[in-house]
Structure 1
Amino acid sequence: MTEPAPRRSTAPRSGDVLLGEDWVSPDPQSDPGQQAGRGRRGIVALNRSPLARKIIIFNLLALVVLVAGVLFLNPFRDSLVLQREQGLVTEARLVADVFEARMPGTGAVNMAAGDGIDVAETLALVDIAPGVEVFVFDTFGTLLVSATGAAGAGDVDTGRSTVITDFLNAVWETVSGVLSSGSEPATQIETEGLARDVYAQARAGETAVNTGRDAEGGAVFAVATPVWRAGEVLGVVAITSAAGEIDRLVRYEREQILQMFVIALLVSIGLSLVLASTIANPLSDLAAAAELGRDRDARKMAPGRVRIPDLTARPDEIGRLSVAMRGMVAALYDRIDANEQFAADVAHEIKNPLASLRSAVGTLRIAKRDDQRERLLEVIDHDVRRLDRLVSDISNASRLDSELVKEEEEEFNLLKTLSNLGEYLGQQAGEKGVDFITDLPPEPIMIRGLEARLAQVFVNLITNAVSFCEDGDAVRVWARRRENRVLVVVEDTGPGIPEQALTKVFKRFYSERPVAQFGDHSGLGLAISKQIVEAHGGVIWAENIRPTHADITSEPLGARFVVGLPV
């Protein structure tokens, strides 16, 4: 099996791709332009990072929609309204119970005339909540007495606010006013009039509830309940809430939500900046490194290689992107180095026949005998054909990389391909007096790849084996499936391969041939075969055939080339 080619041990150059540069703490060898950019931008540069702006905007948008939805639905207002109505109903019934308890058990009672009960004195005994008005009506709808609860020193002020929430409330009220501009304005009514609106239902023996607006637009609740004695309604007690009481409570609850919104807004902005810095900054570094390399190539300045930041320690997609970009850049420079080496090898290989041609042409001018001229013409013809073959093989090798990428892989039967090649190449081997033997299993072996390119590999290996054989030798082609791989082996009974050449036969332009075959081969066939096999994820190697347990220094029985392909 072919040993791996030794890697070139070169000293680190300032232009090589960095393998240890850290994004947070740049390596001293990193590009000065990148270091300067990192120093200027701080945590994150919003004016130069559209991605950071999008992250912050989208995070804030979700928070704003959530808070706006809570304020628009206003669930706490409905809850407060229901609780306040139930409280007023209970309070009205308690006041009515006080009047009923003060009435005598027997005798006539007239609340309007004061017979049997003093309405004003009884109402004075009732503890009325601050801002609440109580009205007492007789059965004819006449207002007998009314009273209003006075605010005490210990009452809680529900109008607390802050500068920020006042501003946000003003914005909210403005938006709400615009959205509700099409609705009819609420009817403004005095509290006594609101109480009289529910009097009729209470006079009929029911507890009634009504809602209205005072002169300033504040919500006012009115509850009326009858005063009973011996199954007869003697009067009605009506209670109205303090003007705007619910609005103040709702405003206070809304201010608390807005305060939490401001805090959440600041936290969201901070977290968004941190998130944007961990995403936008490394992406900016990667983009800057790529742009710097592009500008260098465009201006032909600063010939140092592109340095991609090393973010491989990050267990996320940015780390994967860094690994991929560094691998791409390294592969690109490897390809550039390979192309440079290939160009140098091509120039070297072409110089040999050109030097021979120049020498033959120069000698032809001074040759006097016809046999000398004929010999020189044969040399010129041989060198021209050698150049033509060399240029053709170089052209095919140079196009191979792009063609391997462009062509579409298909699934095909490898054994059928080998069988067809055996029929054609077997005839050529027979013309040379070489036996051609195939040993293929009966079951098809399906693989996925480029059939024409793999066929080119086996053609190269078989024709190469035949070229080393003489009359009476044999070439054997056999294939076997081994788990997830298929092995295709080409063996011959030729002279074998020198041990020192086993690791060189797959190099470009290397040829170990007899003197009689000099110039007939370019030395690219095996190199192209290896490139095609490796592009399919396979391996190829060469070895000599020896008897079992034979001395490694003994003469080989032939050469063997093995191709392993994934199934």
Structure 2
Amino acid sequence: MAEEMRANRDRRGFFSLRGSPLTRKIIVFNLIALIILVAGLLYLNTSRDDLVAQRASALAGEARLVANVFEAQIPTLGPVNLATGDGVDVAETLAALTLRAGIEVVVFDPAQQIVGKTLGTGAGLPIPGAATEPGRTLISDGLSTVWNAAASLFASQKAAPAPPAQDDRLVPLLASALDGGATRITALRDGANSTELVAVTPILQAGQVIGAVAVLSPAGEIDALVRGDRERVLQMFIIALLVSVGLSLVLASTIANPLADLAEAAELGRDRNARKMSPGRVRIPDLTARPDEIGRLSRALRGMVGALYHRIDGNEQFAADVAHEIKNPLASLQSAVGTLRMIKREDQRDKLLDVIEHDVRRLDRLVSDISNASRLDAELVKEEQERFDLLAMLGNLNQYLGEDARAKGIDYITDLPAEPIRIDGLEARLAQVFVNLITNAVSFCEEGDAIRVWARKRQNRVLVVVEDTGPGIPEEALSKIFKRFYSERPEEHFGNNSGLGLAISKQIVEAHGGVIWAENIRPTEADITSDPLGARFVVGLPV
């Protein structure tokens, strides 16, 4: 069996996804939680809004700085025309500006006509968050490509309208700025569908608007930064995904593989029984050292299998004892019948018939007791235990059995507490125990002897004692009287008992979580060689 289990374990491998539904479930459940977490982060991520607000504030500052540069060159008095260069040279002023790479500055006159334009190529002003540009975003770009391809399958075939020209998109902002309003900022979409921030601020001469400056952020700058943040989240997601799968496999190997070993051990035992094979006993893997539920399961299965084999061994021994016990009266019967054929004298034939009748009664009693003993295990398991008053049951037995004892000249004494003692158990089966003990005591007593039945409660147990003043129990028999088919009786009582009564009583008491033992009553416990004054049987039951 051990070789088959090793072969199955090697075939299964340390990490098994195909043969272990439990492993697959562990991985799937862990990944679902991780995917939901990352999806929530991406969906609820506020980095784009933060970036837009940050860049918009910086862009507004740049627009006001450029407007201040123009206002510083405009004379306080006199006409100024940005289109003709009167009062300020727009092209020269724009050329003198140092702007960030990608920044576009457009100057408008009051008629909303462009009078100058420049594109930044240098480092420009330090803008928070603009020091490092995002690198390549392979994961984000790949996902975007897949998403766009999937969306194109369901999108309308109509051509998307062309975006309006840049100048047209700036008209609403210019109108507000040229009317003397404050700096205006907005986000626009360029031809490549990229986000573009625009800040428009007026150019003033002595409080009069003579033009406007529009500063446009680099095309796609916001989108690139958002993709960079998203890329970092996705990279961490992939790392967490790999770690989660690895840890799930390790966790599954510590759970699924031991469970598979336990299941395979049970299945191999079942298959052997189905094929009537018995090369060895079922060996449950010993995982009892694990301080978890699998260790507990292994301990329970090993205990269950051990109890099952103990029951099988007990049944085999019981069957052997039954065969041995039945052979004795059968041999006596066979001998008596054979002799009966040859005997002619009538008195001898009557003696042989008495022997035959005695052996038949002995066989009948033996078969009846064996039948009761064989059904006892199943009945103890199937019957429901109930709470009952032990003293009330003993009182009924004492009343019935006491009359029989007194009829034989035996004193019958009882000593039971006044308060009831309630226990959980099978009342009829426990009554059978005390009937066996009391009737045994009666059978060993003679006229003038006494039997005493008393009970006492000791903490969480109750002791019920049956004492008699009979001949006592031989010392060599004290350790054997509870064995099946053992009987220690005088010759005149031979064959009248099967030797199963005390064995059955012990089985019933132990099934209730109790103990039973026998001892001799001596004048003094210090002198164990003194003749016994009688026998004592003690039954201890949990309360």
Q: Secondary structure at the match of 2:18?
A: helix
8 Å CA contact retained: 1:439, 1:479? yes
Q: Aligned residue pairs: how many?
A: 536
Q: CA RMSD in A?
A: 2.6
The residue that corresponds to 1:556 in the other structure is: 532
Q: Which among 121, 136, 150 is matched to residue 92 of structure 2?
A: 121
Deviations 1:110-156 (A, max 9, x none): 43443332233223332222222222223332222222223779985
Q: Compute the TM-score of the two structures, normalised by the length of structure 1.
A: 0.88
The residue that corresponds to 1:259 in the other structure is: 235
Q: How far did residue 371 of structure 1 move?
A: 2.7
Q: Distance in 2 between matches of 1:412 and 1:53?
A: 52
Q: Which among 333, 343, 354 is matched to residue 357 of structure 1?
A: 333
Q: How far did residue 281 of structure 1 move?
A: 1.6
Any unmatched runs of 5+ in structure 2? 125-129
Q: Which among 527, 535, 547 is matched to residue 511 of structure 2?
A: 535
Cα distance change, pair 273–385 in 1 and its aligned pair in 2 (3 A): same
The residue that corresponds to 2:355 in the other structure is: 379
Q: Percent identity?
A: 67
The residue that corresponds to 1:196 in the other structure is: 171
Q: Distance in 1 between matches of 2:216 and 2:245?
A: 46
Cα distance change, pair 549–283 in 1 and its aligned pair in 2 (3 A): closer
Q: Distance in 2 between matches of 1:359 and 1:297?
A: 42
The residue that corresponds to 1:68 in the other structure is: 39
The residue that corresponds to 2:438 in the other structure is: 462
The residue that corresponds to 1:237 in the other structure is: 213
Q: How far did residue 493 of structure 1 move?
A: 0.9
Deviations 1:336-384 (A, max 9, x none): 1111000000111111111122222222223323333332222222222
Q: How far did residue 255 of structure 1 move?
A: 1.7
Deviations 1:295-346 (A, max 9, x none): 1111123521112211122211111111111111111111111110000001
Q: How far did residue 482 of structure 1 move?
A: 0.9
Amino acid at match of 1:188: P
Deviations 1:375-407 (A, max 9, x none): 222222222222121111111111111111111
Q: Distance in 1 between matches of 2:438 and 2:114?
A: 122
Worse-superposed segment, 263-272 or 496-505? 263-272
Q: Distance in 2 between matches of 1:97 and 1:499?
A: 122
Worse-superposed segment, 107-116 or 439-448? 107-116
8 Å CA contact retained: 2:140, 2:227? no
Q: Distance in 2 between matches of 1:117 and 1:543?
A: 128
Q: Distance in 1 between matches of 2:538 and 2:273?
A: 42
Of structures 1 and 2, the one scoring higher in RCO (CA 8 A, sep 6+) is: 1
Q: Compute the TM-score of the two structures, normalised by the length of structure 2.
A: 0.92
The residue that corresponds to 2:127 in the other structure is: none
Q: Secondary structure at the match of 2:188?
A: strand
Q: Secondary structure at the match of 2:248?
A: helix
5 Å-filtered alignment, 1:134-145, equals 134-145=105-116
Q: Distance in 1 between matches of 2:516 and 2:270?
A: 37
Q: Which among 467, 483, 504 is matched to residue 507 of structure 1?
A: 483
Query: Is residue 271 of structure 2 the alignment partner of residue 271 of structure 1?
Result: no
Q: Distance in 2 between matches of 1:272 and 1:101?
A: 68
Q: Distance in 1 between matches of 2:334 and 2:13?
A: 67
Q: How far did residue 511 of structure 1 move?
A: 0.6
8 Å CA contact retained: 1:189, 1:212? no
Q: Secondary structure at the match of 1:540?
A: strand
Amino acid at match of 1:71: L
Cα distance change, pair 208–528 in 1 and its aligned pair in 2 (3 A): same
8 Å CA contact retained: 2:98, 2:122? no
Q: How far did residue 202 of structure 1 move?
A: 2.3
Q: How far did residue 227 of structure 1 move?
A: 2.5
The residue that corresponds to 1:87 in the other structure is: 58
Any unmatched runs of 5+ in structure 1? 1-29
Q: Distance in 1 between matches of 2:151 and 2:326?
A: 86
8 Å CA contact retained: 1:311, 1:318? yes
Q: Distance in 2 between matches of 1:130 and 1:229?
A: 30
Cα distance change, pair 367–388 in 1 and its aligned pair in 2 (3 A): same
8 Å CA contact retained: 2:99, 2:123? no
The residue that corresponds to 2:502 in the other structure is: 526
Q: Which among 458, 481, 493 is matched to residue 457 of structure 2?
A: 481
Query: Is residue 138 of structure 2 the alignment partner of residue 167 of structure 1?
Result: no
The residue that corresponds to 1:39 in the other structure is: 10
Q: Distance in 2 between matches of 1:148 and 1:483?
A: 98
The residue that corresponds to 1:219 in the other structure is: 195
8 Å CA contact retained: 1:89, 1:223? yes
Q: Distance in 2 between matches of 1:187 and 1:320?
A: 71
Q: Distance in 1 between matches of 2:122 and 2:266?
A: 74
The residue that corresponds to 2:409 in the other structure is: 433
The residue that corresponds to 2:48 in the other structure is: 77
8 Å CA contact retained: 1:159, 1:251? no
Q: Which among 104, 123, 131 is matched to residue 133 of structure 1?
A: 104
The residue that corresponds to 1:51 in the other structure is: 22
8 Å CA contact retained: 1:135, 1:195? no
Amino acid at match of 1:331: A
Deviations 1:517-557 (A, max 9, x none): 21111111111111111111111100000123452111111
Q: How far did residue 283 of structure 1 move?
A: 1.5
Deviations 1:80-106 (A, max 9, x none): 222222222222222222222222234
8 Å CA contact retained: 1:187, 1:212? no
8 Å CA contact retained: 2:266, 2:282? yes
Amino acid at match of 1:300: K
Worse-superposed segment, 145-154 or 228-237? 145-154
Q: Secondary structure at the match of 1:258?
A: helix
Q: Distance in 1 between matches of 2:213 and 2:69?
A: 11
Q: Which among 380, 398, 412 is matched to residue 404 of structure 1?
A: 380
Worse-superposed segment, 339-348 or 126-135? 126-135
Q: Distance in 2 between matches of 1:389 and 1:171?
A: 88
8 Å CA contact retained: 1:203, 1:226? yes
Q: Which among 60, 68, 78 is matched to residue 97 of structure 1?
A: 68
Q: Distance in 1 between matches of 2:320 and 2:462?
A: 36
